[in-house]
């Protein structure tokens, strides 16, 4: 494969003050390119350093290695989202086929846990050791996981498959900072929009496709087979085209064994253990166990103490002077970065929360056919992802600061307004679709903007991994809150409205428990199962049951404003893009035939 970029000597011109006039770039741009400390700059070969886009030949952007790398990123993201999004909508059907099993809830829990915990590890370790084999391995793990899922004969096997799929997703959903490394700063937003477009079949349309698959001979296994093909193609693209700086380009004077000896393994252990335990407690609460259960309390307390107490103290007072903390704390003093990272969490919390709650609302509030349910259930996800696509366009045209502010200011009140009358399907679906669209537009802009705040682009994986972890953490909190609020409200509203309506229509009070089970779909709704049930009683009880659900979902929409309101405040801390950095490119993919020469290059 021919090298279509200009020689490395010309790459270096972007970092040379003597070429300011020649490249017609303002001096602040050059300062940005040289923001690494001197030791770190000397440590990396020229090929592993950032450069100005004007020093790269235009043919590079049309080369197989660049376009193939972008294909690998898009397909990887598709695999990371589809590995669970195509399964979640039909989880009850899967449980009926393989179970029923009391462990079915773990299918979703292990995906979220492994994804969240490994986000930061992928970013941090690939910053140090090079990215290529990390991402090849990620897609291969996803391939193995989907093959196991497609052939699973028990729920426990499916849980094991989702552990691998969630682990792979930590690599694959890291797309936003891998893209940010390969394209100039000014095109990062649109490049992210490309990735969201590629993920449309496995993200916004996942529910529709999952329901459609259920009507095929393969049923839900067809989704796993489809994702196995996506992961295989992604792994092939990573292998053939993605050649970022190698370990020897990143470290010209250090040996791998020296880095391993001086790596903060204790910090990694504290972070991994604390995050896993904390997220496990958040995921368990209100679902597998009540919030007052000792399992939940113990994991929440232990995880919080480790993540917010022991781990930061270890990082600050690290006793080994030659060891750099696993998570350098300078990112926590970067207010712009922190605001953007937490805003991505708020956006993702709305996405995951409503992706979980809204399908339940559709089946509880409205009378629809199976196909109509599949379409409407994916409404929140559709709006969110299409918003992510348009968010890149908005940030490119008007800048991220006002793009993020305006979309969040509009989104939060619209999601709150859905509480007006949940039984009004047209009104509610319009508000949910528009609100999700605007939150998605805000979230996609903040994800990219977070990485544009970095002083040292060599830490882009670290920062991207931390932002991904924060995103997952807030999402877990949102899902836990929404699920708990809904469960508690339904325990109140169903007896409050169904019991009087049924008794007034003539149902014996002793038959109420069986009636409520039948209305909820967990028991038969027949005169035999519900003594005294008549068609008139059933009609009255069904109307009351829908009204009771509507009141519960009203509370959910009110609750959403806790996240949206926080977002409306955080947007004030987001800075606009620095135009002096627009042409900066943080990374590069090279011709593998020139790898040895590039590793030994002097700069």
pTM of the model: 0.81
Predicted confidence (pLDDT) per residue in 183-214, tens digit: 998 899 999 999 999 988 888 788 788 888 88
* Separation between Cα atoms, residue 204 and residue 374, nearest integer Å: 11
Pair 308, 442 in one domain: no
Q: How confident is the model at residue 603 (pLDDT cuts 50, 70, 90)?
A: low
Asked if residue 100 has a cis previous peptide bond (ω within 30° of 0), the answer is: yes
3-state secondary structure of 585: strand
Pair 35, 78 in one domain: no
**Percent over 70 (pLDDT), the chain:** 92
Q: What would the mean pLDDT of 469-480 be, rounded to a whole number?
A: 83
Q: How confident is the model at residue 130 (pLDDT cuts 50, 70, 90)?
A: confident
Pair 165, 189 in one domain: yes
Pair 382, 440 in one domain: yes
Q: Following DSSP, what letter does each residue of 485-546 receive, concatenated?
A: HHHHHHHHHHHHHHHHHHHHHT--GGGHHHHHHHHTTSS--STTTSTT--HHHHHHHHHHHH
Pair 231, 350 in one domain: no
Predicted confidence (pLDDT) per residue in 507-550, tens digit: 888 888 888 888 887 778 888 888 888 888 888 988 999 999 99
- Identify the pLDDT of residue 602: 61
Pair 109, 233 in one domain: yes
* Separation between Cα atoms, residue 152 and residue 173, nearest integer Å: 25
Better-scored residue on pLDDT, 397 or 582: 397
The residues near 114 (Cβ < 8 Å, ≥ 6 apart) are 163, 166, 167, 169, 170
Q: How confident is the model at residue 275 (pLDDT cuts 50, 70, 90)?
A: confident
- Identify the pLDDT of residue 105: 78
The 3-class SS string of 30-61 reads: HHHHCCCCHHHHHHCCHHHCCEEHHHCCHHHH
Give yes or no for residue 38 having a pLDDT over 50: no
| Cα torsion through 143, 145, 150, 153, rounded to 10 | 160
How many domains is the chain built from?
4
Pair 186, 294 in one domain: no
Query: Quick check: is 277 in a domain?
Result: yes
Pair 498, 571 in one domain: yes
* Separation between Cα atoms, residue 340 and residue 498, nearest integer Å: 45
Predicted confidence (pLDDT) per residue in 143-169, tens digit: 999 999 999 999 999 999 999 999 999
* Separation between Cα atoms, residue 508 and residue 533, nearest integer Å: 9
The pair of structure tokens assigned to 452 is 């544009």
Pair 116, 22 in one domain: no
* Separation between Cα atoms, residue 450 and residue 245, nearest integer Å: 23
Query: Quick check: is 97 in a domain?
Result: yes
Pair 15, 73 in one domain: no
Query: Quick check: is 520 in a domain?
Result: yes
Q: What would the mean pLDDT of 58-66 be, rounded to a whole number?
A: 91
Predicted confidence (pLDDT) per residue in 349-362, tens digit: 777 777 778 888 88
The pair of structure tokens assigned to 362 is 């559709």
Query: Quick check: is 3 in a domain?
Result: no
Query: Quick check: is 312 in a domain?
Result: yes
Pair 231, 373 in one domain: no
Domain housing 295: 264-325
CB-CB contact of 161 with 152 (8 Å)? yes
Query: Quick check: is 405 in a domain?
Result: yes
Pair 562, 497 in one domain: yes
């Amino acid at each position: 494969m021919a090298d279509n970029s200009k020689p490395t000597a010309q790459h270096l011109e972007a970092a040379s003050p003597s070429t300011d006039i020649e490249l017609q770039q303002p001096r602040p741009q050059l300062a940005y390119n040289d923001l690494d400390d001197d030791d770190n700059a000397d440590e990396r070969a020229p090929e592993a350093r950032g450069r100005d886009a004007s020093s790269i030949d235009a043919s590079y952007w049309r080369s197989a290695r660049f376009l193939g790398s972008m294909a690998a990123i898009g397909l990887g993201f598709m695999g990371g989202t589809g590995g669970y999004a195509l399964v979640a909508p039909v989880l009850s059907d899967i449980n009926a086929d393989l179970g029923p099993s009391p462990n079915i809830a773990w299918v979703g829990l292990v995906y979220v846990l492994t994804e969240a915990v490994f986000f930061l590890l992928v970013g941090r370790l690939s910053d140090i050791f090079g990215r290529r084999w990390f991402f090849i391995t990620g897609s291969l793990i996803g391939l193995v996981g989907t093959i196991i899922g497609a052939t699973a004969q028990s729920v426990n096997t499916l849980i094991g498959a989702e552990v691998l799929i969630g682990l792979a997703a930590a690599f694959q959903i890291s797309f936003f900072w891998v893209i940010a490394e390969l394209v100039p700063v000014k095109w990062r937003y649109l490049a992210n929009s490309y990735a969201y477009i590629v993920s449309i079949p496995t993200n916004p349309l996942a529910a529709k496709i999952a329901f459609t698959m259920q009507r095929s001979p393969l049923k839900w296994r067809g989704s796993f087979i489809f994702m196995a093909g996506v992961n295989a193609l992604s792994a092939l693209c990573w292998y053939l085209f993605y050649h970022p700086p190698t370990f020897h380009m990143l470290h010209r004077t250090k040996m791998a064994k020296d880095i391993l000896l001086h790596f903060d393994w204790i910090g990694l252990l504290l972070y991994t253990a604390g995050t896993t335990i904390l997220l496990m407690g958040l995921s368990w609460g209100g679902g597998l166990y009540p919030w007052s259960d000792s399992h939940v309390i113990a994991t929440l307390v232990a995880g919080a103490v480790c993540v917010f107490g022991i781990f930061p103290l270890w990082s600050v007072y690290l006793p080994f002077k030659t060891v750099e903390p696993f998570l350098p704390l300078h990112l926590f003093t970067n207010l712009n970065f922190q605001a953007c990272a937490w805003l991505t969490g708020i956006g993702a919390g709305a996405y995951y929360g409503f992706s979980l709650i809204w399908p339940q609302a559709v089946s509880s509030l409205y009378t629809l056919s199976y196909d109509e349910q599949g379409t409407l259930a994916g409404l929140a996800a559709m709006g969110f992802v299409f918003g992510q696509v348009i968010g890149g366009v908005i940030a490119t045209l008007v800048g991220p600061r006002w793009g993020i502010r305006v979309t969040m200011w509009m989104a939060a009140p619209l999601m709150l307004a859905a509480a007006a009358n949940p039984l009004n399907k047209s009104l509610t679906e319009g508000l949910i679709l528009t609100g999700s669209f605007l939150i998605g537009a805000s979230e996609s802009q903040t994800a990219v903007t977070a990485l544009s705040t970095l002083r040292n682009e060599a830490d882009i994986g670290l920062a991207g991994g931390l932002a991904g972890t924060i995103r997952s953490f807030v999402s877990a909190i949102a899902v836990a809150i929404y699920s708990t609020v809904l469960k508690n409200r339904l325990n109140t509203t169903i007896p409050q409205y169904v019991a009087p309506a049924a008794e007034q229509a003539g149902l014996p009070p002793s038959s109420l428990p069986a009636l409520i089970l039948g209305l909820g779909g967990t028991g038969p709704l027949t005169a035999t199962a519900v003594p005294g049930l008549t068609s008139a009683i059933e009609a009255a009880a069904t109307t009351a049951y829908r009204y009771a659900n509507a009141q519960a979902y009203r509370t959910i929409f009110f609750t959403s404003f806790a996240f949206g309101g926080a977002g409306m405040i955080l947007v004030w801390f987001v800075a606009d893009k620095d135009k002096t950095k627009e042409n900066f490119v943080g990374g590069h993919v090279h011709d593998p035939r020139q790898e040895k020469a590039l590793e030994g290059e002097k700069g």
